[in-house]
Amino acid sequence: MYLTLLHLQMNSNEHFAWPRNKMKIISAIVFASIFGSDALAWGSTGHRMITAEALRGLPTTSPSLLRSPEFVADAAEWAREPDRWRLSGTPHDEMRDVNHFAYADDDGRLGGGPVFTGLPATREAFAQAVRKAGGDPEQVGYLPYAILDAWQQVAKDFAYWRADRAGLKASRDPKALAWLEGDRRRRESQLAFDIGVLSHYVGDATQPMHLSIHHDGWGPGPNPDGFTQEKGHVAYEGAYTAKVATPEAVRAAMPAPRDLGPQALAVGAYLDAASKETRVWFAMEKAGAFKPGDDRGVRYTTARLATGAAMLRDMIAAAWTSSAAGQVNYPVVTVRDLESGRADAYLALHPAD
């Protein structure tokens, strides 16, 4: 079950309600953020916007559920959750915080080992490769695997949702129908949450400082271009983005839908391209592009958000398509057998074990 939006006062240009004293509060947050130390990736505005524009941009071949205002609103809020669950304590934070980033060296290697375009198949294999190269995987981060894991979960959710719907279409048993209806609604709520989580990590990747060792100021090491040492990560992704980004501009800047191909290759290529933006960002910062009134920074930030929204849109569309060939339960039953009526959805989804 997804939740119904309460009637918030909506600005016609923004999907989400802003408080009347928005600017006063922004000032307080900016002040706090500048003196904060944790990097959060995009702030609430960026994560909400990426989610909402991705869902709105889905092709009509995907379920209309995904484009409904209620679903979009819930998923957009839940896209904030991986930041909202920070500071929960040990071992929670150590297990989850490393999912937000993957710090590549200037030569594009992660901890001196793998590159984005040649990622090992699993998180454990990646960690071993980084350790073998002399790096510490906990310091490098696991963002590629967080994205892939969440993408596969969304595809699995779609497979179960298809199974529920197939059962509701075919069954005449009141007991089965009651259970399948409840399971379908529950799956829709879970789908919104899982898309929100996927969106968060896909969005993190388009923040130019989540994929580089230069994640908050250029930092130690060679700096021949004289890039800033100022810790501008939080101020850029948060207050600055909240001020300059609009849904309309992000929507207009989104590239056309495309077929992503194999998952690991698609994510690797996406991250590889995104990681090259770090140097671009620092160069623009040096040129003053992010100063008030400079349109270069606005266009750049809009393009980054649009890149994330388009990737998320295409990932959701691919997950929906692939779920037609998916499997549910254990022992496995194929979605094809359920949708064609060769297998009984209630028996498959509600096994007696």
Partner 1 sequence: MRLSWMRGLAAGIAAAAVLGAGTAASAWGADGHRMLTRVAIGALPPELPSFLTAPQAVWELGELAREPDRSKGAGQPHDADLDPGHYINVGDDGRIGGGPLLSELPKTRAECEAAVRAAGGEPSHLGYLPYAISDGWLQLVKDFGYWRVDRLGAETAADPEQRAWFQRDLKLREALILRDLGYWSHFVGDAAQPLHVSIHFNAWGDYPNPNSYTAERIHGPFEGAFVHAHVTEADIVRGLPPARTIEGPILAETGRYIEASRREAEPLFALWTRGGFAGDAPSAGKAFAAQRLAAGAGELRDLIVAAWAASPNATVGYPAVKVADVESGAQALPYAQMVGID
Could you say which residues in the range 16-75 bind partner 1, by CB under 8 A? 17-20, 22, 25-26, 28-29, 32-33, 36, 38, 40, 43-45, 74
Instruction: Return the amino acid letter for 151.
Output: W
Print the binding letters for residues 122-161 with partner 1: x by CB under 8 A, - otherwise: xxx-------------x------x--xx--xx-xx---x-
Subset of residues 98 to 117 that bind partner 1, contact rule: CB under 8 A: none
Contact residue for partner 1 among 62, 108, 115, 189 (CB under 8 A)? 189
Contact residue for partner 1 among 71, 101, 116, 193 (CB under 8 A)? 193
Contact residue for partner 1 among 213, 250, 266, 328 (CB under 8 A)? 328
Q: How far apart are CA 270 and CA 344, in angstroms?
A: 39
CB of 221 to partner 1, least distance (A): 25
Q: How far apart are CA 115 and CA 35, in angstroms?
A: 33
Query: What are 325's two structure tokens?
Result: 């060939």
Contact residue for partner 1 among 10, 94, 255, 261 (CB under 8 A)? 94
Give yes or no for a contact between 284 and 340, defined as CB atoms under 8 angstroms apart. no
Subset of residues 73 to 92 that bind partner 1, contact rule: CB under 8 A: 74, 77-78, 80-81, 83-92
CB of 240 to partner 1, least distance (A): 9
The rounded Cα 170 to chain-centroid distance in angstroms is 35
Nearest alpha carbon to residue 50 among 206, 276, 179: 206
Query: What are 286's two structure tokens?
Result: 């040096």
- CB nearer to partner 1: give 227 or 245: 245
CB of 225 to partner 1, least distance (A): 29
Give yes or no for a contact between 167 and 344, defined as CB atoms under 8 angstroms apart. yes
- CB nearer to partner 1: give 17 or 303: 17
End-to-end, the C-alpha distance of the chain in Å comes to: 26
How far, in Å, are 144, 160, 219, 281, 302 from residue 209 at the CA level? 15, 36, 12, 8, 16
- CB nearer to partner 1: give 87 or 280: 87
**Number of residues written out for the chain:** 353
The runs of H, that is alpha helices, within the chain are 22-34, 44-56, 69-78, 81-84, 92-96, 123-132, 137-140, 143-170, 174-206, 233-235, 241-244, 247-253, 263-275, 277-286, 295-323, 335-339, 345-349
Residue carrying the six token digits 């592009």: 289
Contact residue for partner 1 among 115, 133, 177, 273 (CB under 8 A)? 177
Contact residue for partner 1 among 10, 117, 178, 340 (CB under 8 A)? 178
- CB nearer to partner 1: give 107 or 353: 353
CB of 186 to partner 1, least distance (A): 6
Neighbour count for residue 272 (Cβ, 10 Å): 17
Contact residue for partner 1 among 199, 301, 327, 334 (CB under 8 A)? 327
CB of 149 to partner 1, least distance (A): 5
Binding segment for partner 1 (CB under 8 A), chosen from 184-192, 205-213, 248-256, 291-299, is 184-192
Subset of residues 230 to 289 that bind partner 1, contact rule: CB under 8 A: 237-239, 241-242, 263
- CB nearer to partner 1: give 42 or 218: 42
